[in-house]
Structure 1
């Protein structure tokens, strides 16, 4: 049995935050966690440990004489592997923050917080847990300059439709955000219940490859993409790539979950070890199969925000299970094969991981993105956005490729989190009510900052 305690030592800053200021975790209000001092190198009189259950948290109380945006950093130690924490400001809106494994006390950026005049709370919530928190620091956020992003496709043979789409994204970046919805049925739900149609339709090439077709899978997502494009919309495709061989297909891991690491014995590192083994050939076969579908889109004048190998750094998909090098190598193979062998010039190449060690290089990436799910939080996801800014030194446009809870447009602008688009995941994420209330969705979709399908008509020929 784990003994849970709640310590109520009040930590209230007695002066306004006017410069870089440190707040010790051990002096904050603690819930379900304890103060430790056995790991040397901490500041103050100790650190906070014991993040092992969902409700564990630290709450800092900060008094501010002005309303201002501040950079937040966390000083931590991560002896138990890569973790995440979650930061919530004033009980509403926050960011998931990555805490990479380390046996030293290190400082990581945790996005921004917009302090109100008067009393504010900053809460560090458990999330993945098992880390040590020493302190947080706050410093006034510098006003960002104009973005340095490029709108020239990395594929020099990109067609006019693709160039127009990337140029359009660049024209609204930092000024507006495009609304998006994964899955045709869920997009239709938004149209019927919210009264507005998203500008972007998210689809999946999952059910077009042999390992799934042979087991009865079918899909009409390519046809849906063509139909939506005819209505003036923008389409994005991910690819839940079922392993080409080695699916367990057991009661616990059915064949249709074959993109998950724990549902297959397919080893991407071994498959890429040389070009003569059978599994390497199967990878190419699947890429060639998907190329047929992408060619249909190209022939129909449909440019695609193309997001393969998504969430690689998470490791839960087989393409990321062996670390960054095989994933980056596979990305390069796919890029070369689709652009050079198959002549696919309708793709905007979107990388979908945050860590620097996973980035395949700007020469094969048009835009970068992240997927974030935190139920009930409609904050700007500023920590993730800022990490993506740093990933490419602000040279690539940034998208929120998958979200669970839609972001508040007011907070997006206040935090200068310039996501060029968001795409809410399908099913209960959009229609269930617990991730997003209907009233909130109507408010978001009526915002001048959020572009809908009717507001982007003619995007190929003009900029908003």
Structure 2
């Protein structure tokens, strides 16, 4: 009798341990906020989480469309010219789509962008998209910070119907992104980016946090109602100093999949100051990501024209340190800016002084480029 009782206790104890272990495992696996997300989108999210333990995916904005002294050359990429490999992450922007323009804010035709997205995905790469959309109240550019512009886009606002029509265009574009088998291509969507800055119509000092949160949630719900289920939603700020500042316009864990921020290295800050700023911000976001069971990423960074020969290995890698981020994305290589009479680029090209250091950066075990992404089979 005593033996039977002991066995029962052992079984109950073992069962409890099993349940506890399963709960721990479930809690450690981030789940998408879109409960109807496509299988491929779910797989990508799961694999991005797992890959953070192996390294950092390298990304570049507009990489396939143009570079320094070239535009629209098939198979061309400044990153590939230097490393003989493509980025792992391809960044694009949809500004202009809302007003049915044939090209985006950077002059990239949307039909070409669609093909570049399909091409990057076919290599096993990750697609991320931002949206510098016009001001829905005034019709002015994204930098038009007319007061109450965001509030007017909310339900019952004067520009709400216009904003919905813009979302219809976005939904159509996302829904049309299909791979060779006709399956929706997953996209990391970063709406209202740099939302703690004051330079966009949705930014700080131009809208209340409550209104921005309401518009974020409406945008998410509306895209869901349109059957768009291939998106991973990224919350994004510019540089920040405190946890409270970072979370000021956070729409909640049920509306966000990834926590990200943008920080550029620019004069006059020294390399040491840039590294210190990034480390402070990464510490805050890393803590939040663990608390909220989210993935984090460095959504935009760079040093215009890369004036430090060893910026890649001696500055950027020190800025990231040991934090487990999903990816780091460098901004675009526009080349010569006629208006400002200067060069505008963020990754090296053949012959650039930092070319050798970029190759050394590429060869680091923890940096993952196109071939690494393909080997990781992120969609399977």
TM-score higher than 0.5: yes
Q: Which residues in structure 2 correspond to 1:76-155 (within 5 Å)? A: 150-155=29-34
227, 230, 234: which one pairs with 1:343?
227
The structure with more radius of gyration? 1
On the 8 A contact 1:247/1:266 being kept in 2, the answer is no
Q: Which residue of structure 2 aligns with residue 442 of structure 1? A: 359
On the 8 A contact 2:260/2:296 being kept in 1, the answer is yes
Q: Supply the distance in 1 between the matched residues of 2:302 and 2:104 (Cα, whole angstroms).
A: 30
Which has a greater percent of helix? 2
Using a 3 Å threshold, how does the CA distance of structure 1 residues 181 and 285 change in structure 2: closer, same or farther?
same
Give the structure, 1 or 2, with the largest relative contact order (CA under 8 Å, sep 6 or more): 2
Gaps of 5+ in 2: 1-24, 68-75, 238-244, 304-310, 334-344
Q: Which residue of structure 1 aligns with residue 152 of structure 2? A: 270
**Bigger Cα displacement from structure 2, 451-460 vs 330-339:** 451-460
CA offsets 1:251-288 (integer angstroms, 9 cap, x no match)? xxxxxxx11144x567112332xx34440111111111
Q: Which residue of structure 2 aligns with residue 452 of structure 1? A: 369
Q: TM-score, normalised by structure 1?
A: 0.59
Q: Which residue of structure 1 aligns with residue 284 of structure 2? A: 387
Q: Which secondary structure state, in structure 1, belongs to the residue aligned with residue 77 of structure 2?
A: helix
On the 8 A contact 1:315/1:323 being kept in 2, the answer is no
Q: Supply the distance in 2 between the matched residues of 1:243 and 1:436 (Cα, whole angstroms).
A: 40
Deviation at 1:397, TM superposition (A): 0.9
Using a 3 Å threshold, how does the CA distance of structure 1 residues 210 and 349 change in structure 2: closer, same or farther?
same
Which has a greater percent of strand? 1
Q: Which residue of structure 2 aligns with residue 302 of structure 1? A: 185
Q: Which residue of structure 1 aligns with residue 198 of structure 2? A: 315
On the 8 A contact 2:217/2:251 being kept in 1, the answer is yes
- Give yes or no for the alignment of 1:203 onto 2:92: yes
- Give yes or no for the alignment of 1:172 onto 2:45: no
Q: Which secondary structure state, in structure 2, belongs to the residue aligned with residue 314 of structure 1?
A: coil
Q: TM-score, normalised by structure 2?
A: 0.71
Q: Which secondary structure state, in structure 2, belongs to the residue aligned with residue 168 of structure 1?
A: helix
Q: Which secondary structure state, in structure 1, belongs to the residue aligned with residue 196 of structure 2?
A: helix
Using a 3 Å threshold, how does the CA distance of structure 1 residues 212 and 328 change in structure 2: closer, same or farther?
farther
Q: Which residue of structure 2 aligns with residue 284 of structure 1? A: 164
CA offsets 1:313-345 (integer angstroms, 9 cap, x no match)? 112111122132221111101100111x11111
